[in-house]
Amino acid sequence: MSMVWKLRAGCKVNLYLDIVGVREDGYHEIESLFYPLPAPCDILDVGLTRGQGLLLTCSAAALETEENILSRVYSGFAGATGFAPGVSVHLDKNIPMGAGLGGGSSDAAVFLSWLNARAGERALPKSELSRLALTLGADVPFFLGNEPAWVTGIGEKITPVSCDLTSYTVLVVCPEVHVDTKWAYKRWDEMFESARGRPRKELTPENSPIMSLCFTKPPKLWNGFEEVVFHEFPTLYEVKKHILNHFPDACVMSGSGSSFVALFSSPERAVRCAGDMRAEGHACYASSFGEPLVMDS
């Protein structure tokens, strides 16, 4: 019986997100505080097969294409190293797509790490692996480290930080709304045309006054995409208002949406909020002390 590796790919939330400028090549530069969470998560069942090439299946059949990021991971790694074993991957997709949680990037990072761990002498050093990861997606390098970090540039500059949320129950609420990231950036450009070409703000993470706000009690969270997304998707604005009715210590949209992250110092309030969100048809995930929680509502 062949061995199968079960890989867990968690998600990330943005506790702070600002677009600080647009480069001449059209890429947006950001400053953001990324925080990894164990739930929701995707599961990759990975096995070795004879010959070479990747056999990819997925719980969402529409993702079984050569454009899937896992296919691009395999071909990119093979091209960079010459290591191209026969591999089968079944992706059990649980992280909602279009939710701003980085699910595809997380899948890519865990698969890339798995390939590198089995490449022997052809394995890439950390710096080269990060460069390859960036070609696959701006968030992929973050998931290689999978620790809280201040992320700047187009996502390639990662400064790990000591960010402790263990005193909170962290709730991720995922409405059934798909927000396309490319659309969100384009709409942001249209709403804030003056940002194009403006000098990029320089950020020193260790001394940033913005960063200090994220670590106050309670933390002050912010996302520059909210104005853009709420204008187009007013239902998401209503979801945030409903979450705030449960008095979280902080709540903010993650990424370009459509998910929200809420921090509760009161587990009881988190449970009540989760119950109400699920009653409204929104998926809800909770974690505490870095572990997923099963919340009965």
- Catalytic: 157? no
Catalytic residue among 18, 139, 201, 241: 139
**Known catalytic residue: 139?**
yes
Environment class of residue 134 by beta-carbon count within 10 Å: exposed (0-12), middle (13-18) or buried (19+)? middle
**Which of 257, 226, 224 lies closest to 100, judged by CA?**
257
Task: List, in sequence order, every beta strand (DSSP E) within the chain.
Answer: 4-22, 28-49, 53-58, 86-92, 149-153, 157-160, 169-174, 222-223, 250-253, 260-264, 283-288, 291-293
Dihedral-angle region of residue 15 (phi above 0 means left; psi in -120 to 50 means alpha; beta otherwise) = alpha
Q: Count the Cβ atoms, other than its own, within 10 Å of residue 140.
A: 26
Say which of 12, 42, 93, 240 is annotated catalytic.
12
Distance separating alpha carbons of residues 135 and 116, to the nearest angstrom: 16
Distance CA 22, CA 154 (A): 10
Which residues are annotated as catalytic?
Answer: 12, 139
